[in-house]
Amino acid sequence: MSLTDILSPSDIAAALRDCQAPDSFSPKKFFQISGMSKKSSSQLKDIFRILDNDQSGFIEEDELKYFLQRFECGARVLTSSETKTFLAAADHDGDGKIGAEGINLFIYR
């Protein structure tokens, strides 16, 4: 399964265009433009599994840095401040990583 099985390629492209400049990434806006905010909890779990590069069940800070590249190989990496802000917003238990439930809650807030 790939992200384009769940999300429209044109929506992904639009979301990536919106945050091309360093420090312009807004997770909430990215989720809206890409269509993730309209997906069911089950679909979000599928997306999460794809984004969880090491299949640990969590997205850690090192993986989060490459978040955009999971949508398109040539996309930029998130800056340190973008990564830390994203992690802080979605890490509901303060363990330094995001679980599938954390990302679901973050998207639907």
Residue 2 counted as domain residue: no
pTM over 0.85: yes
In order, the DSSP letters of 18-78 are HT-STT---HHHHHHHHTGGGS-HHHHHHHHHHH-TT-SSEEEHHHHTTTGGGT-TTPPPP
Please count the structural domains in the chain: 1
Residue 1 counted as domain residue: no
- State the pLDDT at residue 11: 98
> Containing domain of residue 59, as a range?
7-108
Instruction: Give the span between the Cα atoms of 21 and 95, in whole angstroms.
Output: 29
The annotation places the binding site at: 52, 54, 56, 58, 63, 91, 93, 95, 97
- State the pLDDT at residue 104: 65
Q: Are 58 and 97 in contact (CB under 8 A)?
A: yes
- State the pLDDT at residue 41: 87
- State the pLDDT at residue 1: 83
Residue 14 counted as domain residue: yes
Residue 38 counted as domain residue: yes
The annotation places the binding site for Ca(2+) at: 52, 54, 56, 58, 63, 91, 93, 95, 97
pLDDT in tens, 26-66: 999 999 999 999 999 899 899 999 999 999 999 999 999 99
Instruction: Write down the residue that tokens 């979000």 correspond to.
Output: 44
